[in-house]
Amino acid sequence: MSRKPIIAGNWKMNLLQSEAKSVFEGVKNFVKDYTAVELPTIVIAPVFTSISAVQSVECTCGCGGKKIAIAGQNCHWESSGAFTGEISVEMLKDAGCDYVIIGHSERRQYFSETDEMINKKAKAILRGGLIPIVCCGETLEQREAGVTDSWIAGQIKNALDGISSEDIAKSVIAYEPIWAIGTGKTCDADEANRVIAMIRNVVKEIAGNEAGDAIRILYGGSVKPSTIEEQMSKSDIDGALIGGASLKAESLNEIIEKTMKLSLVH
């Protein structure tokens, strides 16, 4: 089973248009020497107002792939209507997005996003032909109380409820322990791999072995150029969702380069 690695940058509420453009240009310049087949899947999630400033980069080698794809950081499940401040999947697609991050712990914590809402968003994203990046993760208290696995299994089952195996197979999950996000503390790579293998088994239970083997599951939480090689060398970690280290082209490029070298070796 070969799963193409994904390197996804989550810019959160950072970078003005000119700054976003300049980081994006830095990544674009780096990837220009490679084809989409050689590169990992690269996804960048800017703030909505910068989506038009950074545009997805198609590969010119004829492989039909994209060298850089764009993601929304959130969406609503309705296609339009009286939902002040929200954005629909159709709008993200119209702006050039291929992916949407949903269920990030910051949205769950500060904007009361529930599993039920995340499930509705995942369905809307797949209906619209985009790919959801579904985030999950435990707090430090939950980890210390020994409920990490049951908590995350519940988040995944709820998020994917009622979605076909075929759609689950093309979705992406990001395991992001909350205590590792933006703290500089990465989860031990073996432990992250163990949790991700557990998530894969949950997916197999609900959607079958084929979907479980196909779905790409990322690790997120203080990923840096110095941590990516160990993380990517683990059997079940298919890539990374990166916050802080994706805000500078140099560090994002280093992460892409290291991932590419490892996947060429495997």
Interface residue with ligand PGA among 176, 236, 238, 257 (CB under 6 A) is 176
Does the annotation mark 76 as catalytic? no
- Cβ 254 to ligand PGA, closest distance in Å? 14
Interface residue with ligand PGA among 203, 241, 249, 260 (CB under 6 A) is 241
Size of the site for ligand PGA (CB under 6 A): 13
**Neighbouring residues of 142: CB distance < 8 A, sequence distance ≥ 6:** 148, 151
Among residues 113, 5, 90, 97, which one has the least CA distance to residue 45? 97
**The one catalytic residue among 106, 113, 138, 176:** 176
Residue 49 structure tokens: 């107002």
Regarding beta strands 57-58 and 66-72, do their DSSP bridges make them parallel or antiparallel, or are they unpaired?
A: antiparallel
Give the helix, strand, coil percentages of the chain, each rounded to 5: 45, 15, 40
- Between 165 and 253, whose beta carbon lies closer to ligand PGA? 253
Residues 251, 58, 40, 199: what is their CA dihedral angle, to the nearest 10 degrees?
110
**The one catalytic residue among 76, 104, 106, 113:** 104
The one segment of 63-71, 197-205, 207-215, 217-225 that binds ligand PGA by CB under 6 A: 217-225
The one segment of 14-22, 139-147, 220-228, 257-265 that binds ligand PGA by CB under 6 A: 220-228
Interface residue with ligand PGA among 107, 221, 237, 251 (CB under 6 A) is 221
Q: Report the SS3 class of residue 10.
A: strand
Site residues (vs ligand PGA, CB under 6 A): 10, 176, 181-182, 220-223, 241-245
